[in-house]
Amino acid sequence: MTEPAETGPAIGDAIPDVALERPDGGTLRVADFRGRPLVLFFYPKDDTPGCTTEARDFSALKDRFDAAGVAVLGVSKDPPARHRKFAARHGLTVPLASDPVENGLADALGLWIEKSMYGRTYMGMARTTMLIDAEGRIARIWRKVKVKGHAAEVLEAAKALAAG
């Protein structure tokens, strides 16, 4: 599978305040988290091996993120009902949000991209994590995330930002 060269936001950019859907049907915005750091992990699809591992790893560390005063939110284009099933099936404790199919947060950040696998092109989420500071600015970006050990690395960076 190939992905295009890096595009999107940079360190210091303000995170767009786009409405996301919660699994319970309500909405939330990135601005709802202002005043404390936020980890946004964007992942391609519920119930796929890498995405499941990533969500479970962040869930396993949720208490440590909470203790550091850092919120965590997983974002994909999957609908709220699918997020509910995904969270229940895997015992996820991190909140998940559904990004609108068109003109959503991933689109605004350049993370909804054309991908290619086995000669077929399609639109998909670039697995990316962003650490947002308490003022709503991007403090760190992990692009083309490799899942193993990722949540622990993000926790260390988040703790340093929160303490800093």
In whole angstroms, give the CA distance from residue 49 to residue 117.
17
Of 20, 30, 40, 51, the active-site residue reads: 51
Q: How many helices (H) and strands (E) does the chain have?
A: 5, 9
Specify whether 1 is catalytic.
no
In whole angstroms, give the CA distance from residue 39 to residue 139.
10
Residue-by-residue DSSP string for 98-144: EPPSSS-HHHHTT-EEEEEETTEEEEEE--EEEEE-TTSBEEEEE-S
Place of tokens 């202002």: 34
Q: Say if CB 1 and CB 115 are below 8 A apart.
A: yes
**Amino acid at residue number 93:** T
- Phi, psi (deg, nearest 5) at residue 66: -60, -45
Residues noted as catalytic: 51
